[in-house]
Amino acid sequence: MKDTIKKLSGNPVQPIQMDLDSKFQFRCHKGLECFTQCCGKIDIFLTPYDILRIKNRLGITSGEFIANYTQLMKLKKTKLPFLMLRMKADSKCPFVTREGCTIYTDRPVVCRYYPIGFGLLKSKEVGGGDFFFPIKEHFCKGYEEDKEWTIRQWREAQEINLIDFYNKHWWDIVLNKKLYASELEPDGKSLQLYLMASYDIDSFRKFVFESRFLDTYDVDEDTVELIKEDEIELMKFAHEWLRGVLFGNPTYGLKKQKQKN
Ligand code: SF4
Ligand code: SF4
């Protein structure tokens, strides 16, 4: 499955299906002649938590990050679009320099996985187990190094488990089985809400605190205080709220609906 990462020329994806206990040999470091060669001509899918971290790293708003560094892309099998990191005119990542990645500790989850790809839809859509595959570029010398990993160890070392945890409700949205039912087609307003609540946390904050949102939705005071203070909690709240709006059975229902019941 090449949903999450794809090279623009050639096909470095190896036809090998891996699971969490599969092993591979790899080490990437500055001393290799290929250092940073992999940071270009690449589609990097962004998760909401990636965007939150990178926009804070850059000291800009999520709206500014989206406008200046991303492009919208729709995958063949999904009904919701995704944001991808926009490469520069020379096809290089905007964050790569000769010294390496300038946002390394906040790099996107796809970069953390590399040189492993993950099969987003095949595994989660059908309720199967996690599904991974190796990506071997002809120039990548990392596979010639002697350090051995399992996918599980690699995920831990790259902090991917933590990122998956923060993105959990969002994965529930984009991989929701109802989305694949032929009759469900998100309209323009739903898509707008999806894009804001998924990726544009600063606009979502304004939507919650500077509109009639809190008069409309039944959100308890503790949650209001929490999301006021903590941006990650606000992001998780956004995804939980969005899931209810798109698929029903909301955690935060309409106030007037509650009064009727
Ligand atoms: S974000 Fe960093 S690690 Fe990812 S492609 Fe760009 S420079 Fe490379
Ligand atoms: S070893 Fe592979 S992943 Fe590391 S810098 Fe070289 S090409 Fe990129």
| pLDDT tens, per residue, the chain with 261 residues | 344 444 434 577 777 888 899 999 999 999 999 999 999 988 899 999 999 999 999 999 999 999 999 999 987 667 788 999 999 999 999 999 999 999 999 999 999 999 998 876 554 443 445 689 999 999 999 999 999 999 999 999 999 999 989 998 898 888 877 776 666 677 788 889 999 999 999 999 999 999 999 999 999 999 999 999 999 999 999 999 998 888 877 788 787 655 444
Cα-Cα-Cα-Cα dihedral of 192, 198, 201, 207, to 10°?
A: 40
User: To which residue do tokens 């499955």 refer?
Assistant: 1
Secondary structure class of 119 (helix, strand, coil): coil
Within 10 angstroms of residue 87's Cβ, the number of other Cβ atoms is 20
CA–CA gap between residue 75 and residue 19 (Å, rounded): 23
- pLDDT for the residue 52: 98
The response to whether residue 54 sits with its C-beta less than 6 Å from ligand 1 reads no
Give strand ranges (E) for the chain: 23-25, 44-45, 70-74, 81-85, 96-97, 100-101, 116-118, 132-134, 148-150
Collect all residues with Cβ–Cβ distance below 8 Å to 261 and sequence separation of at least 6: none
The protein residue with its alpha carbon nearest to ligand 1, atom 4, reads 111
- pLDDT for the residue 1: 35
Secondary structure class of 21 (helix, strand, coil): coil
The response to whether residue 95 sits with its C-beta less than 6 Å from ligand 1 reads yes
129: CA distance to ligand 2 center in Å? 28
Phi, psi (degrees; rounded to nearest 5) at 44? -115, 110
Q: Which of 7, 27, 33, 36 to mutate to test the pocket of ligand 2 (most atoms within 8 A of CB)?
A: 36
Distance of CA 90 to the CA centre of its chain: 24
| CB distance 57 to 15 below 8 Å | no
The protein residue with its alpha carbon nearest to ligand 1, atom 5, reads 39
| CB distance 52 to 76 below 8 Å | no
115: CA distance to ligand 2 center in Å? 8
Q: What is the pTM of this model?
A: 0.88
The response to whether residue 111 sits with its C-beta less than 6 Å from ligand 1 reads yes
The response to whether residue 107 sits with its C-beta less than 6 Å from ligand 1 reads yes
And the tokens for 158?
């790259």
And the tokens for 98?
């000769």
- pLDDT for the residue 12: 79
- pLDDT for the residue 123: 45
For residue 45, the ligand closest to its alpha carbon is: 1
